[in-house]
Amino acid sequence: MEYDNIGCVSSIHEDEIHHHNNLHHHFSSLKLKNDTNININSATSTTHYNVGPTTIIPAATTVHDLMECPVCTNSMYPPIHQCHNGHTLCSTCKTRVHNRCPTCRQELGDIRCLALEKVAESLELPCKYYNLGCPEVFPYYGKLKHETICNYRPYDCPYAGSECSVVGDIPFLVSHLRDDHKVDMHTGCTFNHRYVKSNPREVENATWMLTVFHCFGQYFCLHFEVFHLGTAPVYMAFLRFIGDEIEARNYGYSLEVGGSGRKLIWEGTPRSIRDSHRKVRDSHDGLIIQRNMALFFSGGDRKELKLRVTGRKWKEQQDPDAHVCIPNLCS
């Protein structure tokens, strides 16, 4: 398969060479499928890409940079547009710039950059989370799908009291929850929390402060809130695991609430924070208490909510002989 020439000649700065060398510290070369090689000479000011048996593309950047939209900086996918001067951008940004090239300000028209689209078909690139530990390399058009489910992708902040856009790895999020959201931090596998609210019949939707627990070397979030289930308000408590879903399945937890000689008990597996707080809540995957029952548990004249929620967490241990999980209870 032959490709059209793509030319890009400019000087390369030392910081660009440094970035390029860092990328190849993790991946010795970017590869094209069908035994097509990309030879990169970062010691000179010009980088040559060998595409196909004879075509040489001089460039001052990496192939990955060629595929980057200059407006949104995301990787470009077909249709890739270009102006009459050869400047490219993605189809999403074409409408955002009102059909004007962001580089030379010429009218874009409807010119497709077919050469760049053909190059993309042959590329194999590392996952964008390679610096977070992902070792995978994918065909260009399969890379995007992988990155949406990559186990190394950053986590969203699990705080439910506000719309927080912070993302990061687990140690960063734990520090963020403690320092920025001022959540309660506890150590241990058992807990005993008391939730109090005056005039509870006037509260239709409310979220109590998030509580974070550390045990078994992992972190867990305890949520408690009131919301409408159908036409009736209910209280709900549930636990989320700060980590991936597969690892969350290694743990179990129980929640118990009661009073006046009655009690409700819930047992389950904590959901990963990959699932949003709203998704877990709307799936009703936790301890749900009807308002009248919650006020009955509170005792007195039922004019004040006084719920005591106790719970524990354990790690499941696989019995190799019986092929069943045995709870490893934390003392």
pTM exceeds 0.85: no
Cα 82 to chain centroid distance, Å, stands at 32
**R_g over Cα of the chain:** 28
H-run or E-run covering 268: strand 262-268
Count CB atoms within 10 A of the CB of residue 143: 20
DSSP-derived pairing of the beta strands 271-272 and 167-168: unpaired
Q: Tell which residue, 115, 66, 74, has the closest CA to residue 91.
A: 74
Please name every residue paired with 215 in a beta bridge, in sequence order, or none if there are none.
218
Side chain identity at 277, as an amino acid letter? H
User: Tens digits of per-residue pLDDT, 43-55?
Assistant: 333 333 333 343 3
Give the residue extent of every domain in the chain.
14-149, 155-329
Q: Tell which residue, 153, 154, 161, has the closest CA to residue 181.
A: 161
Structure tokens, 304: 């004040």
Give residue 120's pLDDT. Answer: 83
Question: pLDDT averaged over the chain?
Answer: 78
Side chain identity at 99, as an amino acid letter? N
d(CA 322, CA 110): 65
Helix (H, G, I), strand (E, B) or coil at 121: helix
Give residue 61's pLDDT. Answer: 56
The CATH code of domain 14-149 reads 3.30.40.10
Give residue 55's pLDDT. Answer: 36
User: Tens digits of per-residue pLDDT, 243-254?
Assistant: 999 999 999 999
The parts of the chain modelled with pLDDT lower than 70 are 1-61, 161, 300, 318-331
d(CA 115, CA 40): 20
User: Tens digits of per-residue pLDDT, 87-122?
Assistant: 999 988 988 898 889 899 988 888 999 988 888 888
Q: Is the dihedral of CA 292, 293, 294, 295 positive or negative?
A: positive
Residue with tokens 């940079």: 65
d(CA 165, CA 330): 34
Structure tokens, 283: 């799936």
Question: Do the domains 14-149 and 155-329 sit in the same CATH topology, yes or no?
Answer: no
Give residue 328's pLDDT. Answer: 58
**Considering all CA atoms of the chain, what is the largest pairwise distance in Å, rounded to the nearest integer?**
87
CATH T-level topology, domain 155-329: 2.60.210
